[in-house]
């Protein structure tokens, strides 16, 4: 149940966090688009104004004087405090010239940064506006600007201090089908860049905060969702326990009746009647084992099953179980080998551990072909405290890698048709796992398909 609730919490959290991230990314990208689009529109308007002014000056006979910076200032530049736009022109020789006088000090800094831009864009820029972003180091520019202002830095000094990020727009100057050059406008967007950095940090903090809130809400929702599931599971568990208990009594009576009929000699001399009685006994025993398994699992789920802790010799218990199952192995010409080396004192539930050994050996006998070998080993291991190890090795059909993690699930059978033929219900290994975990131990399986399996159990001493 806890695993199911944990999975629900993870799924709910993933959905909520996914929507949260989608919202944050959408908001960030939308704001970025709107603000940058505004800056681009300002640059585009400025370029249109400058190109128009340039054409006007040429029509009035000013010629190239106003174009190449011989003291002219087409358009006069656009100044709005920190939003100043620096204008530049690349002539037909590829020389980059300042357009407005206030940006003459920036040419040396921006020329290197824009070298790749205008060298690559000179042949590609058309009458439509193209945009780039560049970084410039304007420390020298700041000193020059301060000197021109009498040593006082003003708010209107362009691109002052450290690294500046510029949004550059370019537009071809075409007259009578002839390209005269490229007009560039550079706008400082450092403040906007820093704003987006702060916005990203704030949104990241909000995302972390709301992600934690989403996990909390997901846990609450999964808890509420599990309430009817727990009730249904409890009713199912009670039904299985009651049904198993009620079935066991008539099955025991049926088995006793079959034994009584055989003791009275019923069916002697009649092969068919003897076969019917034999089949009835086998089916009754199989149903009793199934009801016992269901009852054990129902009690383990409800927490009603408890361990009866006593001191006993696990080696002697293993020897007794091996001897009791050896006739079953001999009937398939399987060698069941167990060598007791001496007493193995252990503190635990002897009845449950006997059941564990029966399950492991019974499985090994069922899935080992005729003439195979099964080895049972029980020994002490001194690793981080005293532990007892139980190993069951067989030369059976083995377990496929994809089935190895599922064999301890209830009612799971690797080959259902084969399991039905062998009388398995898919409950034995799940009960074995519960017994081991109830003792604080671990159970693992290593197997190679077609070569056999090794079930290894490690049990701490409960004393």
pLDDT, tens digit (0-9, with 9 covering 90-100), for 42-77: 888 888 888 888 777 777 665 444 443 333 343 333
Structural domain count, the chain: 2
Q: What is the CATH number of the domain that holds 373?
A: 3.30.565.10
- Max mean pLDDT among 10-24, 163-177, 263-277, 409-423 falls in 10-24
For residue 178, being part of any structural domain is answered with: yes
**Higher local confidence (pLDDT), 27 or 302:** 27
pLDDT tens by residue, 159-197: 444 677 888 887 877 777 777 777 878 888 888 888 888
State which of 165, 188, 211 marks the end of a domain: 188
Residue 456 has pLDDT above 90, yes or no: yes
**Higher local confidence (pLDDT), 227 or 37:** 37
Mean pLDDT of the chain: 75
What does the pLDDT read at residue 158?
42
From residue 75, how far is each of 67, 184, 205 by CA, in Å? 11, 13, 45
For residue 248, being part of any structural domain is answered with: no
Residue 309 has pLDDT above 70, yes or no: yes
Give the residue from 115, 111, 137 showing the smallest Cα distance to 190.
137
For residue 295, being part of any structural domain is answered with: no
153-157, 258-262, 270-274, 372-376: segment of lowest average pLDDT = 153-157
What does the pLDDT read at residue 243?
65
Strands 163-175 and 310-313, sheet pairing: unpaired
Residue 107 has pLDDT above 70, yes or no: no
Give the residue from 242, 305, 228, 216 showing the smallest Cα distance to 1.
228
State which of 153, 188, 223 marks the end of a domain: 188
104-108, 158-162, 311-315, 445-449: segment of lowest average pLDDT = 158-162
Q: Quote the tokens at residue 45.
A: 């308007």
For residue 209, being part of any structural domain is answered with: no
Residue 1 has pLDDT above 70, yes or no: no
For residue 199, being part of any structural domain is answered with: no
For residue 249, being part of any structural domain is answered with: no
Residue 306 has pLDDT above 90, yes or no: no
* 447 and 316 belong to one structural domain: yes
Residue 346 has pLDDT above 50, yes or no: yes
Q: Which residues pair with 312 in a beta bridge?
A: 346
Q: What is the CATH number of the domain that holds 156?
A: 3.30.450
Phi-psi region of 300 (alpha: psi -120 to 50; beta: other; left: phi over 0): alpha
What does the pLDDT read at residue 66?
40
State which of 188, 221, 256 marks the end of a domain: 188
What does the pLDDT read at residue 202?
92
What does the pLDDT read at residue 360?
92
For residue 193, being part of any structural domain is answered with: no
What does the pLDDT read at residue 229?
73
Residue 245 has pLDDT above 50, yes or no: yes
Asked whether the CA dihedral 115, 119, 122, 128 is positive or negative, the reply is negative
122-136, 155-169, 382-396: segment of lowest average pLDDT = 155-169
40-44, 142-146, 325-329: segment of lowest average pLDDT = 142-146
Q: What percent of the chain has pLDDT over 90?
A: 16
Residues near 183 by Cβ (< 8 Å), separated by ≥ 6? Answer: 47, 50, 51, 54, 87, 88, 89, 99, 170, 171, 172, 173
Range of the structural domain that residue 91 is part of: 26-188
168 touches 78 (CB < 8 A): no
For residue 3, being part of any structural domain is answered with: no
């Amino acid at each position: 149940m806890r695993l199911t609730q944990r999975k629900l919490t993870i799924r709910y959290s993933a959905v909520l966090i996914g929507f949260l991230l989608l919202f944050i990314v959408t908001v960030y990208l939308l704001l970025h688009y709107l603000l940058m689009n505004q800056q681009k529109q300002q640059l585009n308007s400025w370029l249109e104004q400058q190109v128009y002014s340039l054409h006007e000056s040429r029509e009035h006979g000013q010629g190239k004087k106003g174009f190449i910076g011989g003291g002219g200032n087409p358009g006069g530049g656009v100044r709005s405090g920190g939003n100043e736009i620096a204008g530049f022109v690349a002539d037909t020789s590829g020389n980059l010239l300042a357009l407005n006088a206030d940006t003459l000090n920036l040419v040396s800094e921006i020329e290197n940064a824009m070298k790749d831009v205008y060298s690559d864009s000179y042949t590609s820029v058309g009458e439509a506006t193209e945009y780039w972003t560049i970084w410039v180091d304007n420390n020298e520019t700041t000193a020059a600007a301060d000197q021109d202002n009498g040593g006082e830095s003003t708010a209107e000094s362009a691109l002052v201090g450290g690294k500046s990020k510029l949004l550059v727009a370019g537009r071809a100057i075409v007259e009578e089908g002839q390209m005269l050059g490229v007009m560039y406008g550079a706008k400082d967007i450092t403040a906007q860049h820093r704003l987006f950095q702060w916005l990203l940090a704030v949104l990241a903090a909000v995302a972390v905060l709301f992600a934690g809130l989403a996990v909390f809400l997901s846990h609450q929702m999964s808890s509420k969702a599990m309430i009817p599931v727990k009730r249904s599971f409890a009713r199912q568990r009670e039904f299985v326990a009651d049904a198993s208990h009620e079935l066991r009594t008539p099955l025991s009576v049926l088995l006793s009746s079959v034994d009584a009929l055989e003791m009275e000699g019923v069916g002697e001399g009649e092969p068919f009647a003897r076969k019917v009685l034999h089949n009835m006994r086998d089916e009754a025993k199989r149903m009793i084992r199934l009801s016992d398994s269901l009852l054990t699992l129902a009690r383990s789920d409800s927490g009603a099953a408890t361990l009866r802790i006593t001191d006993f010799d696990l080696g002697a218990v293993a020897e007794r179980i091996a001897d009791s199952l050896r006739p079953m192995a001999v009937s398939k010409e399987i060698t069941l080998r167990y060598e007791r080396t001496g007493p193995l004192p252990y503190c635990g539930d002897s009845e449950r551990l006997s059941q564990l050994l029966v399950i492991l050996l019974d499985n090994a006998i069922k899935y080992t072909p005729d003439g195979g070998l099964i080895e049972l080993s029980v020994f002490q291991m001194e690793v981080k405290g005293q532990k007892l190890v139980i190993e069951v090795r067989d030369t059976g059909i083995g377990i496929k890698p994809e089935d190895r993690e599922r064999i301890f699930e209830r009612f799971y059978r690797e080959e259902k048709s084969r399991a039905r033929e062998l009388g398995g219900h898919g409950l034995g290994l799940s009960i074995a796992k519960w017994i081991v975990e109830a003792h604080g131990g671990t159970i693992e399986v290593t197997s190679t398909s077609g070569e056999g399996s090794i079930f290894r159990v490690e049990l701490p001493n409960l004393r």
